[in-house]
Structure 1
């Protein structure tokens, strides 16, 4: 692997939008009825916008079915949320097939089965964790640059990025969040796959990256369903070697919880089907661009789709 001399990792101050676990509860349906009447469930999520929206969709859908919900959304980091689920500190949250395959199950990004969801759900069942049927959206990692920078330098693919950074190391700065910097399916893996290394890494809170691409950094980590990509005139760079793993969103919960409350699968099946890429991107944009509260966004969508009433 070609690593430039003097490469450094620059850390911005520990800026985190992670929400502290609130422990607040929402009431069940007023008459105590519903498929989950009498259930008490703890809903979690990771800290970024899409996860906050999905967490509130989950909480509201379960509440509508009669459950009493404790809101523990906004936890920092995939490992934190997963460990909380395994330990019984959470009952349910959304995760992604790529995270399941690489970070949870310990496989490599290059060792992908044809049916990633099937392989992840089957393997994780041995850990007592159930994966419900995935949604109709994928939110994978990508590298982006500004439209202006891409046009000026003819950058369309990650192979173009590798060649450009090798030839112009002073322009080889990338903005990324701590998790992406450390994950095998993130920065280390993509650098290895394309045989290059960014000359400098600026570690930022994920939500700051979008406005810093083209300013602090020539390149940056993004999520493919993020509405801030077009809002900030960014170009998502084509992963021409197919390095990035498929990240289908799916509800995860302990099997014992699903066995106790099998209606949970029925509740989320139509919700998952309705969550397409344009839909989740629009919901993310309502939070990140229009400044709406994730719970309000989730409730508005669920009501409009007829999933709650």
Structure 2
């Protein structure tokens, strides 16, 4: 069957978390286990995503899966920042994107405390976001893209670091952090984490000790010694490639960030078959799987759309 080659509205922009630019090129695919759905023929689905590597890979997976099912897909992936990508959904400029349960609960819905049980967290954000904003959340993937504090193995051994509480073992002068711009001020991000672990901004962590930077350079800054600790995400492919040690969140501060396909209510109600398309895809997206896919972009230099296509082919979803 013919598959639409969609045009991205954000072309050739360097990703905030990756090393490669996002591309407007979407390769044609043929149906595998994802078969053409007659009711989707001629239905326009506008897919968006944030700009970091994992979101680009997930966004392209959505674009290709929907195209294989026969939808007319408009690729609007690669929007800068969570707030902007979310706004495109609530305004109706886009009508489908992968989102994270923790981000929905804390950042979009304004709750201060995460729910530690993954199922309960999903159900709470699903119900509240639908009733308040008309956004439907499909069942989540196992992958949990939560924040983490990472150090080099040498640093972990030098200071005896195993948990986030162990940050206090590091002398104040050496208690330095590399943090990406978006995560810095978020309640579920860096500043919230310091408060949660009893570190006072300005004294326990002098302002000069936190260096804000793009995620694309954060990892090289950490391994290059520009900071002692890096504010990372658990599923980033560079964690394994660079042999970084993630400190245990022993106070369970960080929310659970299970990835979930979200849709505007109108699309979800008109086309419940979309949920059936994504159910088997979501089930296969574990931490290990997405970490490997992210590494194919950030470590091996692959294009997100080709990484997404090759994975969908490897699982038999498309040909």
TM-score when normalising by structure 1: 0.88
SS of the aligned residue for 2:188 comes to coil
1:17 Cα shift? 2.5
Choose from 218, 235, 238 the match for 1:209: 218
Alignment of structure 1 residues 89-168 onto 2, 5 Å: 89-109=93-113, 115-126=120-131, 127-161=133-167, 163-165=168-170, 168=171
CA contact (8 A) 1:37 1:67 kept: yes
Deviation at 1:21, TM superposition (A): 9.4
Compute the TM-score of the two structures, normalised by the length of structure 2: 0.85
Deviation at 1:233, TM superposition (A): 2.2
Q: Distance in 2 between matches of 1:160 and 1:107?
A: 27
Q: How far off is 1:223 after superposition?
A: 0.8
Unaligned stretches of 5+ in structure 2?
1-12
* Equivalent position to 2:235, from 225, 228, 249: 225
RMSD: 2.4
**Aligned twin of 2:60:** 56
Question: Does structure 2 retain, via aligned residues, the 8 Å contact 1:147–1:235?
Answer: yes
User: Post-superposition shift, 1:303?
Assistant: 1.1
Q: Equivalent residue of 1:142, what SS? A: strand
Deviation at 1:170, TM superposition (A): 1.5
Q: Report the Cα distance in structure 1 between the residues aligned to 2:292 and 2:244, rounded to whole angstroms.
A: 17
Query: 1:55–1:153: structure 2 CA closer, same or farther, 3 Å change rule?
Result: same
Question: Which consecutive unaligned segments of at least 5 residues does structure 1 have?
Answer: 1-14
- Contact conserved, 2:115 with 2:121, CA < 8 A, in 1? no
Number of aligned residue pairs: give it.
291
What is the CA deviation profile of residues 97-156 of structure 1, one whole-angstrom value per residue up to 9, with x for unaligned ones?
100110011001356677000000000011100000000211100011111011011111
What is the distance in 2 between the residues matched to 1:184 and 1:191? 10
Measure how far apart 1:40 and its partner are: 1.1
Whole-angstrom CA distance in 2 between matches of 1:103 and 1:303:
34
